[in-house]
Amino acid sequence: MSGAILFQVNGKTCSPAASEQLPLLSVLRDDLGLSGPKFGCGQGECGACTVLVDGRPQTSCNLPLWSVQNRQVSTLEGLGSPEHPHPLQTAFLEENAAQCGYCIAGIITAAAALLQAQPNPSRADIVQALDKHLCRCGAHNRMIRAVQKAALTMSCHPDQATVKPKA
C-alpha cells in the first residue's frame, strides 16, 4: 500500500509513496533524499545505516517501512546543521575521528542515543554502544575521544544535550 505509512523524519511528517515492505533505508535515501544513513551490509550487522527510531538506535537496512508507522525517525541530518552542528558532529571534526566517513553517520547517531540515555558515559560504555559499528579506517580511539568530548560539552551546555527534531 503506497503512501499509507505516516511517520516523522527529523521533525517533519511524511508519508512517502513507497511500498510498506521496503527497507526504511531505501525510503530515507531514495524517496526522501537523505544521505546520512548508508547502505553497508544490508543485514543490520555493520551499523552504517543506523538511525534513531523513537530515540533508540536501529539499523534501517532491515527495518521495513511499515514498522515506523506513527513513530519518530532521526537521521544524522536531524542532529544538527552546518550552521548549528550537534556537539557530537563538532567533536568528531575536532578529533579528526573520520577518515573515509562511510560509517560515521551511523556511529554519531548511535552515540547521540547513548548520550541522551547516559550523559556521562564511561569509556567502556562508549565502546559497548559503538561495538556493533564496523569501521575499517582504524579511527576507533579518536571516535571514543570525540564522544567523551561531546559528553563533556553537553554536560556544560545542557540545552545541547537532547536530540531535537528540526521543524
Contacts of 43 (CB under 8 A, 6+ apart): 61, 62
Q: How far apart are CA 19 and CA 116, in angstroms?
A: 32
Q: pLDDT tens digits for 23-57?
A: 999 999 999 999 999 999 999 999 999 999 999 99
Residue 127, number of CB atoms within 10 A of its CB: 14
Q: Which residue has the higher pLDDT, 84 or 167?
A: 84
Phi-psi region of 15 (alpha: psi -120 to 50; beta: other; left: phi over 0): beta
Candidates 3.40.50.150, 2.70.150.10, 3.40.50.300, 1.10.150.120; correct CATH number of 79-160?
1.10.150.120
Q: Which pTM does this prediction carry?
A: 0.88
* Domain spans, the chain: 7-78, 79-160
Arch. (CATH architecture) of 7-78: Roll (3.10)
